Amino acid sequence: MNKLIPISEAARRLGVSIDTLRRWDSAGQLSSVRSGPRGHRFYNLSDIEQFTKDQYSIAKKWVESSFAVEPESYMYCQTRDVFQARLESFQAKLSMEMSISTTSLITAVSGEIGNNSFDHNLGNWPDVTGIIFSYSLRKRIVVLADRGQGILKTLKRVKPELVDFQGALKTAFTETISGRLPEARGNGLKFVKEVIVKNPFTLYFQTGDAYLYLKQYDKEVEVKQANTFIRGCFAQISFEGGI
């Protein structure tokens, strides 16, 4: 039999507010089951799990698609201010379940990747402005995606010898180089790498047709050819091993 969970538990698992769930229920996006004498909302656990899974495939499809559409508002941060507010909300929820160390580092890594998208595409977004920021506290996963210019185009301005996405991705994670010269920048993704390899976290990062997968204790950044092509950048951070 399908397990029912209360709305508060469903909200916690999805990382959204109870009001958001009520709205989704009314709109038919994620239906509840009414139970008890007062008709309280409950959710099928399998529906919540499926919905969570869908969030990530939605983000991946969004960056792969040749059609530019705005994502659903609950995962869409059109501006940096929206991202900052949602990042702080994520941090507050994370701190209730995880250690200070995991909360602090995962929020910092997510913040760097998300803000990188805004830093490098400000005034130059090819189609949809902003990023997807989505997470599941139960699955301990954060997803960030943008339909920006991608790392190759950004870094080619300062390193013209770059010819493919694989070279650009490797450069971004291993060299202190900035696509916003003459500003002194270029530490963001090196910071992300350092945090991932020193903690029980993993990172999948793709730009164009190049991807890398980093985990704890990795010494080298190994960039591979992906089967799919994405616009901009897509990152999935997992902190399943975090405490």
Distance CA 67, CA 58 (A): 13
Please state the three-class secondary structure of 80-113 as a single string.
Answer: HHHHHHHHHHHHHHHHHHCCHHHHHHHHHHHHHH
Nearer to other proteins, 105 or 210 (CB): 105
Residue 205 within binding range of other proteins, rule CB under 8 A: no
Bridge partners of 147, per DSSP, are: none
Lookup: tokens for 18? 């109870």
Distance CA 188, CA 129 (A): 21
Nearer to other proteins, 97 or 164 (CB): 97
Residue 100 within binding range of other proteins, rule CB under 8 A: yes
Q: Which of 77, 112, 201, 221 binds other proteins (CB under 8 A)?
A: 112
Residue 159 within binding range of other proteins, rule CB under 8 A: no
Nearer to other proteins, 198 or 224 (CB): 198
Residue 172 within binding range of other proteins, rule CB under 8 A: no
Q: Which of 6, 104, 138, 139 binds other proteins (CB under 8 A)?
A: 104
Distance CA 177, CA 184 (A): 9
Lookup: tokens for 17? 């507010």
Instruction: Return residues touching other proteins (CB under 8 A).
Output: 80, 84, 87-88, 91, 95, 100-101, 103-105, 107-108, 111-112, 115, 118-119, 184-185, 187-188, 190-191, 194-195, 198
